[in-house]
Amino acid sequence: GNSVTQMEGPVTLSEEAFLTINCTYTATGYPSLFWYVQYPGEGLQLLLKATKADDKGSNKGFEATYRKETTSFHLEKGSVQVSDSAVYFCALSDVDTGNQFYFGTGTSLTVIP
């Protein structure tokens, strides 16, 4: 079946540090991969996505590359800011399973000045 395994948190970084949040997936078909972000008190919102192998999604300085050979979609940012403090969810969706979305457990990031 489909599943997402995400790096456990919480993660605490100093401002301008490099961020990596690991995400690996298991899928029966050819899924699309997503990173969602949840800021305190808000709903989830799409951060970036990739729909096929070797695609790179990017937004707000964050990047993730769809690696089929390692079944991974790690999130990276070169220099985090305090405003990046949030919970990050890796997710996949597959047309073979009726476009259902499968989420990882989330990684809480706190950036300190």
Q: x-or-dash pattern for another protein, window 11-40, by CB under 8 A?
A: --------------------xx-x-x----
Please report, as a single letter, which amino acid is at residue 113. Answer: P
Q: x-or-dash pattern for another protein, window 37-76, by CB under 8 A?
A: ----xxxxxx--x-x-------------------------
From residue 54, alpha-carbon distances to 45, 57, 66, 68 in Å are 23, 10, 5, 7
The answer to whether 92 touches 33, Cβ cutoff 8 Å, is: yes
Neighbours of 63 (CB within 10 A): 17
Q: Which is nearer to another protein, 26 or 79 (CB)?
A: 26
Q: List interacting residues with another protein (CB under 8 A).
A: 4, 31-32, 34, 36, 41-46, 49, 51, 89, 93-95, 98-101, 103-106
